Amino acid sequence: MIVCGIETSCDETSVAIYDSKRNKFYSLVSSQVDIHSKFGGVVPEIASRNHALNVMPLFIDVLKMAGVSKEDINLIGVTKSPGLIGALFVGVSFAKGLAFGLKKPIVGVNHLFAHIVSTEIENDVKPPYLGVVISGGHTHIYLVDECYNLKLLSKTIDDAVGETFDKIAKFAGLPYPGGPFIEELAKKGDEGAVQLPIGLKGDNDFSFSGLKTHVINTITSNKFKLEDVAASFQRVVVDTLALKIDYALKRTGVDVVVVAGGVACNNYIRENLPKKLNMHCYFPSKKLCTDNGDMVAYAAYLLYRKRKFLSKFESALDIDEFIK
Ligand code: KG4
Ligand code: ZN
């Protein structure tokens, strides 16, 4: 199968071709990070306009890269939710146009599902497993069964882990998105220097807002070096993730953990979360941790093979139901 994956949920436009027979991915990403960093965060209207400008050229170029024509495409996958509504509409409208024009089936893909299964692209791992999403908008633990049904086990009740990194970074005067800058600072810091709390210790859900406030107050107090605060913050993030993952492992009896999403780019987390859990954790490569079309194409392929619920171009209409 030749699957085209389209991602426009936030500030990255990406189109990918997945050749399932040869298990090969061809992918292009146009990031808007530089555009939005001036504003200290993603401006939805600007994001939508840039997706509209970028999606067609990326589609044409990725076909060339993969050495296929648009008529060779057998299935179209597109991120349907969650995300910025205007941004999603650009990708979904483009995908629907393709599906109608080419008379090919289309699958609307949940962005978090795509992040989770992106772990399978370069790792030899299959469900059942715990799918942990740590991104700018989400901190969720799912139980993923053999048929790729998802059961939500834990979620954040306030800030997502990436959002916490970004808000702390903004307060410290670092550029947006702040996650990589906090990671860089933390390399020079002492992770035991500052005592910081784990939110909602006894519960399954996450809470990061108390930790965020504590870190911000610590920075304001000027009692500690910023490097030490950053390192101590990352240590508590790992402790928090490990605590909740451990609960989920015990609750479900599952013994495989995959961790994906933008924050999974963080080397400290990649090294220390498995140590803290005392088990191997599967991560996508860093390129696949941030938003990309590869994961959307692969997720669409899995869903299509599994459910076969969409066929021919009429199915493109079904996608409206996904925009919720
Ligand atoms: O998955 P993603 O690209 O977009 C969403 O779907 O949210 O994740 C973006 C988030 C941002 O909050 C960013 O600061 C964070 O991932 N991030 C990091 C690192 N690289 C990206 N957080 C911590 N350390 C990093 N190295
Ligand atoms: Zn994402």
State if residue 265 touches ligand 1 by the CB under 6 angstroms criterion: yes
Model confidence pTM above 0.85: yes
Q: Ligand 1 pocket test: which of 215, 263, 266 has the largest number of ligand atoms within 8 Å of its C-beta?
A: 263
Residue 213 neighbours by CB distance under 10 Å: 13
Angle of the 226-252 helix axis to the 161-171 helix axis, nearest 10: 170
Index of the ligand 1 atom closest to the CA of residue 291: 3
- For 109-167, the DSSP string reads EEHHHHHHHTHHHHS---SSEEEEEESSS-EEEEEE-TT--EEEEEEBSS--HHHHHHH
Index of the ligand 1 atom closest to the CA of residue 162: 12
State if residue 181 touches ligand 1 by the CB under 6 angstroms criterion: no
Q: Ligand 1 pocket test: which of 14, 29, 119, 165 has the largest number of ligand atoms within 8 Å of its C-beta?
A: 165
State if residue 284 touches ligand 1 by the CB under 6 angstroms criterion: no
Banded pLDDT at 285 (limits 50, 70, 90):
very high
Asked whether the beta carbons of 80 and 319 are under 8 A apart, the reply is yes
What pLDDT digit, counting tens, does each position of 142-195 carry? 999 998 889 999 999 999 999 999 999 999 999 999 999 999 999 999 999 999
- Please, what sign has the CA dihedral across residues 147, 290, 283, 181? negative
Q: Is the peptide bond before 180 cis (omega within 30 degrees of 0)?
A: no
What pLDDT digit, counting tens, does each position of 37-56 carry? 889 888 999 999 999 999 99
| 140 Ramachandran zone, left/alpha/beta (phi>0; psi -120 to 50) | beta
State if residue 162 touches ligand 1 by the CB under 6 angstroms criterion: yes
Index of the ligand 1 atom closest to the CA of residue 138: 7
Nearest ligand, CA 185: 1
pLDDT for residue 319: 46
Task: Identify any residues that bridge with 282 across adjacent strands, giving them in sequence order.
Answer: 258
Element (H, E) at 202: none
Asked whether the beta carbons of 207 and 158 are under 8 A apart, the reply is yes
Q: How far is the CA of 137 from the centre of ligand 2 (A)?
A: 8
